[in-house]
Structure 1
Amino acid sequence: MLSLIAIIATFSIFCIHYALAFSRNLRAAKASGLHYEYVPVHCFGQWWLITHRIWLPLFFRLPSSWTCPWLDIVQPDWIYTDNYRPFARRGTDIFIAVSPFSNVVWVADPEAISQITSRRTDFPKPVHLYDALNIYGPNVVSTEGPTWRRHRKATSPPFTESNNHVVWAESIHQAQAALSHWADKTVLTVAEDTLRLSLHVISRAGFGVGLRWSDKTTPTNPLESEMDSSSIPEGHRLSFKAAIFTLLDHIIAVLVVPKWLLAHSPFKAHREAFESFVEWRSYMDELYQSRKRLHQAGNGGSNLDMMSALYRAAHGHTETVNANNEKMDRHTLEAPLIDENEVMGNAFVIFLAGHETAANSIHFSLLFLALNPASQRLLQKDLDHIFADRPVSEWTYEQDLPKLFNGICGAVLNEELRLVPPVISIPKCTAPGRPQPLMVNGRKVLVPGGTDIMLGAAAVHRSPKYWPAGKSSAVETDHASDLDEFNPERWVLGASGDTSSSIGHPSNTRVSEDTWLESSAREDTSAQLFRPLRGSYIPFSDGPRACLGRRFGQIEVLAVLAVFLKSHSVELAVDDFATDAEIDSMPRGGDERRKVWSKADDRARKLLRYGMGAIITLQMRKGNVPIRFVKRGEERFTLDRMSST
C-alpha cells in the first residue's frame, strides 16, 4: 500500500513539475515576440535521443491533428532532411519550440544569425553539449569565455599563412598517393579512404608526423610508421596508424561510455576502443616529450607544428615569427596558457575536427561531381586553363591556389558545403536570467534567458530568399527544388551559360596572392564568386567562434580535387548493375547505358537524402556510394545529365 502511494505521489509531483515548467517556458515564449509552438519532447534531451526510434513510428500513426505541426521538428537531423521546408510551412525564419524541459529557438534568418554569431558573450556556446569531447582534457572546442580565449591563443599559431604552404604541398602529395591506389578500379570505401587521406594531411601539416600509404620505405621515426605496416614500436600494443583509426572507428563509445566500463566490458569492440584510447594518448605523450627535448636543447620546434605550439603555451613561452616563419623574438609569458592535460585535449580535438570535416568535403564533392558530369567537365575545363600542361610538381601555392579558390574549383567546394555543411545546426544559447534582444525584419524581439538556440545551417543554405538559381541543362524546376541540386554555376557571378572563359581570373592574368590573403582573412568565399548575404552561408560558423582551421581545410580540399580531376574523371561505379564487359558492349550514349547509370544515380541520391546522419559531423551512415576514377577521355558515361530524375 505504501509503495502504491509512493508511486502515485512521485507521479503527481512529476506532473506538477512538468506543468509548471511548461507554463514558465510558454510565458517566456509569448513575451519574446517570436512565433512559437508546443512540442511534447526536448529534441536534444538525452532520453529522447536514445529512445526516439521507439516513439517516432508510433507518433507517425497518430492522427495528423494530434501531431501537427510539431512532429516535423522533433526528428533528429530534421534540419538536414527537411532543411528549409519547416520554416517555409510556418511562414517565418525564426521560431521557438516550447517544451516542458527547454525552449529551443530555431533560426534560418541571416540577420538574426549574424547578430548571434557576432555577439559572443550574449550568445555563448552551450559547452555542456561538448563535455564528451573532453576525454583527454578541455580544449578550444569545448570551452567558452576567458578559458576559450586561452585555448584559442594556444592553438592559433599553426593556423597561419606561413603554414598554408605546407598544407598545400602535403595535400598534393597525399592526393597523388591516393589516386595511385584508386585509379581504374572501383572504390568501395570512399568515405573511409578520404578520412585516411585527410588524416595524413593533418598529421603531417598540423603535427609534423608523416604517414604513408605504402610500406616501400622504412621510417626512422616510430611515429612515422607506414600506414600499411604492422610494425609496432617498443612499448606499444598498436601502431600509430592502428591507434588513431581504431579510436576514430569507436569514437562514439569512447565519448559516451565510462572508461572503466570500456576496459572491463565483455564486448571486444569496447575493449578495442579502450586500448586505442590509451595507445593514442601514449603516442601523443611521446610526441609531446620529443618537443620538450627539442625546446630544452635550444630548438623550440617549428611554429608550424601544433604540438610545438601547445608545448610552448603550456610552459609560458611564445615566439614571434616573420612571414617566412623565421624566429624574430622569443619571450616568456607571465603564466602558461594551458596545462599539460589541456595540451592533450587540444591535440585530440584538432586531430578529430581537423581531418573529419575536410574528408567529408572531399567525399561529398566527389559524389556530387560523379552525379553531375556536366559540372565535372566545367571544373576540368577550368583546371586546364589554370595548369595547362604543367606537371603537378610545378604547381605552386602562390600562383595556383588563388585561381582555384576564385574559380570553378572554389565554386564546387562552396556548393558542396552549402548542401552538406559539416555541422547542420550550430548551437548557441542565452544565459539563465539574461534575455537578449534581436532585430528581426525591422522589429525588436527578445530571446528568453536560459534558451537553447540552433542556427540552422542546412536550412538557411537552401532558403530561396537568399540564393540564386543554378544554371543547367536540366528541366526547369521551382526555385526551392533547384536549391536541393548540386550546381556550382550558381556561384559564378553574371553567369550567362557561357563559361568558356576563365572564371574569376581573366585569361593570362595572375590572381595575386594579396587577393587570396585579403579574401581569406575575412570571408569563406571568394570576392570573385557569388558572395552570399552575411549569415546565409555558415559552413564554418561565423564571428569570433568561426572554425579555426577553415583555411586549412579549404586549401586541402581545393588541392586534392585539382589533383584528382586534372588527369582523371570520377564516375559512379555500376558494378552492382552491370559488368565491365556488359558496359563495353553497350553503345555510348545509348539507352542501355543510361538505364544502368540511372540505377546507380538513384541509389546515390537516396543515400544522400536518407542515409545521412550527424553525430559529430554530418556523414553518410547507412551505406556507401562506390565510385571509379578513369583517365580523362576514357569516361564510360558521357551525357551531360544522364539521370532520369
Structure 2
Amino acid sequence: MHPYLLPLYGLLVLTTAWTLSSLFGLYQNYQKARQFGFPIIINAVNFQNPFVVFLGPRVLPSLSRIPFGIGSYFKHISVDWITDDRYKTHQRLGNAISIIDPKWLRIFITDASAIEDVMNRRKDFTKPRVFYQPVEILGPNVDTVEGATWQRHRKITTPPFNERNSALVWKESVRQAQQMLTFWLEQGKSITGTSADTLTLALHVLTAAGFGQEYSFSSNLQAPPAGHQLSYRDALNDVLRGFLPLIICGPDSLSKWYMPKGVKAVGLAVKEFKQYMKEMVTRERQLIEKRDSSNHANLISSLVRASEDGKSASQSLDDDEILGNLFIYNLAGHETTANTLAYVITLLSINPDYQDWIYEEVTQVLQEAGSPETWQYEEVYPRLPRCLATMLETVRLFMSVPSLMKIATDGPQPLTIDDKEYLLPEGTFVVNNFAASHTLPRYWGSDSLHWKPKRWIGTEDNITGMKGFGEIVKEAPVRGCYKPWGEGPRVCPGKKFAQVEFVAVLATLFKEWTVRPQSRPGETSQQTTERVQAVLNDSRLEITLQMRNPTSVGMIWERRSERLQG
C-alpha cells in the first residue's frame, strides 16, 4: 500500500468500526425498547456526542425543518428538544415514549400519576451518577449524591432555609430591586440588559442571605478586589457560561496551553470562583474561633459549623463537600431565579393588563405599609397571591430545568402508566418530561400554551392571612402534572427562598412603575408584541432555560402616573 494512503485507510477503518459499533448499539437498545411496547424514536447519534453538544443548538433546528418528513429524524437528538416541542410528540405518540441512540435507552413520560410515583420513590428511582457526577466541579453536593450520603448533605444544608432567612431574603430582594430600578432609570433609555441585570440582583440576594456578604447592585461593576483578577459576579457568570466545556473537559484541563482562549477564560473563572469560596470558608472559620455568633445563620455558616462540630464523618462535610455545595447553591440559587425574573419582566411588558392586575393587589396591600424599606416580610408576603401566581405561571411555561432523569435502582421496578403496570429492568432511564406535563391540554385546558397567571387564583371567604382581595393560590389541576421545584424527599430546599425573592422584586418594581417593549421604526404595537413573544419562545437549554437573544428586546420603564397621563 502506498504510504500516502495509510492515513486514509486508517480513517476508513475507524469510520467503519464506529459505524458498526453504533449500529450494534442501536440494535441492542431497540430490542430492549420493544419489550415495553411504547412508541420508539430512533436517533442515529448519541445525545452526548460532542458534535451534538457543541453544534447541535446551531445546526439541529435547521435540519429538523427539512421537508418531506426528513427533518423528523433530527428533531429529538439534542437534550433540549422538549423545550420547543412541549407536549406535541407525546400528544401524537402517547404518555410514554422510548428514545434510543447507539448508547442509551431513555423512556420519556408525561403521565401525571407516573411522574408523581417516580418523584416520590426516592430509593427505587435515583439520579443516575453517570450524568450527575460531572456537576461535582468543586466537590460532591446535595444535588449529585444519593442514599445515606444525600441524607447527610441534606441534613446539613437545609437548616438555613427557614422563616428567619426568608425575612432576610425579602429585605435584600427589595433593596436590590430598588437599586436595579434606579440603575435602569439613570440610563434614561431603552434597557437591553434586563437578563444580565437580574443575574446581578439574584447573585447579590444569594450572597447576602446565603453567605452573609452584602453588595450594592452596582458594586460588582467595579474593579475586582485585591488578589483577584475577576469580580465574584464575573467569575460565577464565566463559570456558568462555560459550563459545557467545564463538564466535558473537567476543571483541571481548562487552563492547559493547547486550549482555546475562550476555554482558558473559563479555567481562570473556575480558579477565581474557587478562591472566593475558600475565602468565605476561611472567614467563617475565623468567626468560629473567635466564638462570634453575631452573624446571621446562613448557608455558609451552617456548612462550616457543621463540618467543625461534627463528631463523625456521618455528621459533617469535608472541605471538598463544602465547596461542592457552595457551588451547587450558587448555580441553583442564582441562575434559576434570575432567568425567571427576566422572563416575567419580558412577559409583563407585552401584557399590560397583568401589570394592572398586579398593581391592584400591591397598592391595596401596601397602601399603608410605608416605603419599601419598611415592608415587613411576615405582614406583606402572605398577602400577595397574585405576585406568587405570576411566578407559578411563568415557571410552568419556562421551567428552569424542564426535565429530570431517574434510573431504576435495586432490581426491576414497577411503574403504572395510563393505568397499566410495566416492570422496568434495573438500570432503565426514566425521564420526567415536565415541559410536556406542564402544557398538556388535558391537564391545563385549550389555552395551555398561553401565559395566564389568573389560572392560579381562587377565591375563598375568611382566608387566614389573606386579607387583600380574599384570594388564594390554587393547587395544580392534577397531582403530578406540575413539578417546577421537584417533589417528595428531594424537593428543592430553596423553593421558598426563590418565591420570596420573586414576590419581593415584583412588588417593588410594579408598585409605581410600568414597563413596555421598545417598538422598532414602522412597527405596530401588535407586531412589537409578536416579536417579543417570538424572543420568549426562542429559548434554549444550557444549564437552565434562557432566551437566546434577550438583548434584542429593549425595555422602557415609566412611572405609572405618567403612563396614565400619556
TM-score by shorter chain over 0.5: yes
Query: Is 2:393 aligned against 1:393?
Result: no
Question: 1:597–1:637: 8 Å Cα contact kept in structure 2?
Answer: no
Distance in 2 separating the partners of 1:357 and 1:271: 26
Residue identity opposite 2:392 in structure 1: N
Relative to structure 1, the CA distance from residue 24 to residue 605 in structure 2 (aligned partners, 3 Å threshold; closer, same or farther) is same
Distance in 1 separating the partners of 2:77 and 2:151: 34
Q: How far 1:377 moved relative to its partner?
A: 0.8
Question: 1:208–1:305: 8 Å Cα contact kept in structure 2?
Answer: yes
Relative to structure 1, the CA distance from residue 110 to residue 254 in structure 2 (aligned partners, 3 Å threshold; closer, same or farther) is same
Query: Is 2:429 aligned against 1:449?
Result: no
> 2:217 aligns to what?
213
Distance in 2 separating the partners of 1:545 and 1:636: 47
> 2:150 aligns to what?
148
Residue identity opposite 2:478 in structure 1: L
> 1:106 aligns to what?
108
Q: How far 1:15 moved relative to its partner?
A: 5.3
Q: How far 1:261 moved relative to its partner?
A: 3.9
Q: How far 1:292 moved relative to its partner?
A: 0.9
Q: How far 1:163 moved relative to its partner?
A: 0.9
Question: 1:262–1:271: 8 Å Cα contact kept in structure 2?
Answer: yes
Question: 2:41–2:100: 8 Å Cα contact kept in structure 1?
Answer: yes
Q: How far 1:268 moved relative to its partner?
A: 4.3
Q: What does 1:323-472 correspond to in 2, within 5 Å?
A: 332=311, 335-391=314-370, 392-404=372-384, 407-431=385-409, 434-468=411-445
Question: 1:112–1:440: 8 Å Cα contact kept in structure 2?
Answer: yes
> 1:278 aligns to what?
271
Pairing partner for 1:632 from 528, 543, 560: 560
Relative to structure 1, the CA distance from residue 61 to residue 275 in structure 2 (aligned partners, 3 Å threshold; closer, same or farther) is closer
Pairing partner for 2:521 from 559, 564, 577: 577
Distance in 2 separating the partners of 1:191 and 1:563: 17
More off after superposition, 80-89 vs 125-134: 125-134
Relative to structure 1, the CA distance from residue 207 to residue 179 in structure 2 (aligned partners, 3 Å threshold; closer, same or farther) is same
Pairing partner for 2:548 from 621, 637, 641: 621
Distance in 2 separating the partners of 1:103 and 1:483: 30
TM-score of the aligned structures, taking structure 1 as reference length: 0.79
Relative to structure 1, the CA distance from residue 54 to residue 335 in structure 2 (aligned partners, 3 Å threshold; closer, same or farther) is closer
Relative to structure 1, the CA distance from residue 445 to residue 485 in structure 2 (aligned partners, 3 Å threshold; closer, same or farther) is same
Q: What does 1:215-294 correspond to in 2, within 5 Å?
A: 226-230=219-223, 232-233=225-226, 235-258=227-250, 259-264=252-257, 267-294=260-287
SS at match of 2:28: helix
Relative to structure 1, the CA distance from residue 244 to residue 11 in structure 2 (aligned partners, 3 Å threshold; closer, same or farther) is closer
Q: Deviations over 1:562-618 (max 9, x none)?
A: 1001111121123x437xxxxxxxxxxxxxxxx5323322221111122x1111100
SS at match of 1:363: helix
SS at match of 2:255: helix
More off after superposition, 355-364 vs 95-104: 95-104
Q: How far 1:76 moved relative to its partner?
A: 4.2
Question: 1:399–1:511: 8 Å Cα contact kept in structure 2?
Answer: no
> 1:89 aligns to what?
92
Q: How far 1:367 moved relative to its partner?
A: 1.0
Query: Is 2:15 aligned against 1:23?
Result: no
Q: How far 1:55 moved relative to its partner?
A: 6.4
Residue identity opposite 2:442 in structure 1: K
Residue identity opposite 2:500 in structure 1: I
SS at match of 1:309: helix
Question: 2:168–2:209: 8 Å Cα contact kept in structure 1?
Answer: yes
Relative to structure 1, the CA distance from residue 41 to residue 452 in structure 2 (aligned partners, 3 Å threshold; closer, same or farther) is farther
> 1:490 aligns to what?
455
Q: What does 1:139-218 correspond to in 2, within 5 Å?
A: 139-183=141-185, 185-214=189-218
Distance in 2 separating the partners of 1:263 and 1:20: 36
More off after superposition, 241-250 vs 533-542: 241-250
Query: Is 2:101 aligned against 1:72?
Result: no
Pairing partner for 1:608 from 517, 527, 536: 536
Distance in 1 separating the partners of 2:66 and 2:170: 53
Relative to structure 1, the CA distance from residue 447 to residue 301 in structure 2 (aligned partners, 3 Å threshold; closer, same or farther) is farther
Distance in 1 separating the partners of 2:96 and 2:202: 36
Query: Is 2:542 aligned against 1:565?
Result: no
SS at match of 1:541: coil
Residue identity opposite 1:452 in structure 2: F
Question: 2:438–2:481: 8 Å Cα contact kept in structure 1?
Answer: yes
Question: 1:572–1:597: 8 Å Cα contact kept in structure 2?
Answer: no
Segments of 5+ residues of structure 1 without an aligned counterpart are 215-225, 318-331, 469-478, 494-502, 513-525, 579-594, 639-645
More off after superposition, 337-346 vs 259-268: 259-268
Query: Is 2:306 aligned against 1:313?
Result: yes
Relative to structure 1, the CA distance from residue 430 to residue 175 in structure 2 (aligned partners, 3 Å threshold; closer, same or farther) is same
SS at match of 1:379: helix
Q: How far 1:535 moved relative to its partner?
A: 1.2
SS at match of 2:207: helix
SS at match of 2:444: coil
TM-score of the aligned structures, taking structure 2 as reference length: 0.89
Q: How far 1:58 moved relative to its partner?
A: 5.2
Q: Deviations over 1:64-107 (max 9, x none)?
A: 2x665x543235422111200111111x1111123332211111
Relative to structure 1, the CA distance from residue 637 to residue 442 in structure 2 (aligned partners, 3 Å threshold; closer, same or farther) is farther
Q: How far 1:491 moved relative to its partner?
A: 1.6
Relative to structure 1, the CA distance from residue 134 to residue 609 in structure 2 (aligned partners, 3 Å threshold; closer, same or farther) is same
SS at match of 2:40: strand
Distance in 2 separating the partners of 1:17 and 1:272: 36
Question: 1:424–1:458: 8 Å Cα contact kept in structure 2?
Answer: yes
Question: 1:102–1:451: 8 Å Cα contact kept in structure 2?
Answer: no
Q: How far 1:286 moved relative to its partner?
A: 1.7
Residue identity opposite 1:490 in structure 2: R
Q: How far 1:276 moved relative to its partner?
A: 2.6
Q: Deviations over 1:130-154 (max 9, x none)?
A: 3332221111122222222222222
Q: How far 1:271 moved relative to its partner?
A: 3.7
Distance in 1 separating the partners of 2:460 and 2:169: 23
The structure with more helix, counted as a fraction of residues: 2
Q: How far 1:204 moved relative to its partner?
A: 0.3
Distance in 2 separating the partners of 1:505 and 1:560: 28
Query: Is 2:458 aligned against 1:511?
Result: no
Q: Deviations over 1:432-489 (max 9, x none)?
A: x833211122211133432322211111111011114xxxxxxxxxx1xx22211111
SS at match of 2:132: helix
Question: 1:504–1:529: 8 Å Cα contact kept in structure 2?
Answer: no
Distance in 2 separating the partners of 1:400 and 1:573: 33
Pairing partner for 1:529 from 447, 453, 474: 474
Distance in 1 separating the partners of 2:330 and 2:41: 40
The count of aligned residue pairs is 553
Question: 2:254–2:266: 8 Å Cα contact kept in structure 1?
Answer: no
Residue identity opposite 2:521 in structure 1: F
Distance in 1 separating the partners of 2:436 and 2:49: 22
SS at match of 2:511: helix
Identity %: 29
Distance in 2 separating the partners of 1:425 and 1:275: 31
Distance in 1 separating the partners of 2:173 and 2:125: 36
Residue identity opposite 2:466 in structure 1: V
Distance in 1 separating the partners of 2:101 and 2:265: 40
